Amino acid sequence: MINPANRVKSVEMSQIRKMFEIASPTAISLGLGEPDFDTPIHIRQAVVDALEEGFTHYTSNKGIPELREAISNKLASENKVKSDPESILVTVGASEALYMSTQAFVNPGDEVLIPDPGFLSYAACVKLSEGIPVPIPLKKENDLRMTIEDVEDLINPHTKAIILNSPCNPTGSVMKKKDIKGIAKLADDNDMLIISDEIYEKIIYSDKGQNKVKHYSPGQFSENAITINGFSKTYAMTGFRIAYIAACEHLSEELLKVHQYNTACASSISQKAALTAIKGPQKCVDEMLAEFKRRRNLIVSRLNDMGWECKSPQGAFYVFLDVRDSQEFVKQALNNDVVVVSGAGFGKTSTNYVRMSYATSYENIETAMERLENVKF
Ligand code: PMP
pLDDT > 90 fraction of the chain, expressed in percent and rounded:
93
Mutate to test the pocket of ligand 1, among 91, 95, 346 (most ligand atoms within 8 A of CB): 95
Which pLDDT score is estimated for 256?
A: 98
212-223 pLDDT, tens per residue? 899 999 999 999
Looking at 166-246, which runs of residues are DSSP E strands?
193-197, 225-230, 243-246
Q: What is the mean pLDDT of residues 141-170?
A: 97
Asked if residue 14 has pLDDT above 80, the reply is no
Spacing, Cα 192 to ligand 1 middle (Å):
23
Could you report the per-residue pLDDT of 58-74, keeping only the tens digit for each?
A: 999 999 999 999 999 99
pLDDT band with cut points at 50, 70 and 90 for residue 22: confident
- pTM of the entire structure? 0.97
**Average pLDDT rounded to a whole number, residues 286-311:** 96
State the distance from the centre of ligand 1 to the C-alpha of 7, rounded, in angstroms: 22
CA of 243 from ligand 1 middle (Å) equals 9
> Could you tell me the distance, in angstroms and rounded to a whole number, from the CA of residue 376 to the centre of ligand 1?
33
Residue range 94-119: mean pLDDT, rounded: 98
As for ligand 1, residues whose beta carbon falls within 6 Å of it are 33, 93-95, 119, 165, 169, 197, 199, 230, 232, 238, 243
For 183-189, the CB contacts below 8 A with 24+ separation are 183/146, 183/148, 183/151, 183/218, 184/218, 184/220, 184/221, 184/222, 184/224, 184/225, 185/221, 185/222, 186/148, 186/151, 186/152, 186/155, 187/162, 187/218, 187/222, 187/224, 187/225, 188/222, 188/223, 188/224
Mean pLDDT over residues 197-209, rounded? 93
Q: Is the pLDDT of residue 25 over 90?
A: no
Which mutation among 98, 119, 215, 234 tests ligand 1's pocket best, with the greatest number of atoms within 8 A of CB? Answer: 119
The confidence score (pLDDT) of residue 228 equals 98
pLDDT at residue 162, as a whole number: 98
Could you tell me if 340 and 356 are in contact, meaning their C-beta atoms sit under 8 angstroms apart? yes
Question: 246-296 pLDDT, tens per residue?
Answer: 999 999 999 999 999 999 999 999 999 999 999 999 999 999 999 999 999
List domains and CATH numbers for the chain.
6-39+283-372 (3.90.1150.10), 41-279 (3.40.640.10)
CA of 198 to the centre of ligand 1 (A): 9
Q: What share of the chain has pLDDT > 70, as a percent? A: 98
Distance 197 CA to ligand 1 centre (A): 8
pLDDT of residue 12: 87
pLDDT band at 245 (very low <50, low <70, confident <90, very high): very high
Atom in ligand 1 nearest the alpha carbon of residue 97: 16
Q: Could you read off the pLDDT of 162-190 as tens digits, one per residue? A: 999 999 999 999 999 999 999 999 999 99
The answer on pLDDT for 123 being more than 90 is yes
Q: Which residues contact 268 (CB under 8 A, 6 or more apart)?
A: 50, 55, 56, 57, 58, 59, 64
- Atom from ligand 1 closest to the CA of residue 165: 3
* Residue 38, pLDDT score: 96
For all residues of the chain together, what is the average pLDDT?
96
Q: How confident is the model at residue 21 (pLDDT cuts 50, 70, 90)?
A: confident
pLDDT score recorded for residue 290: 97
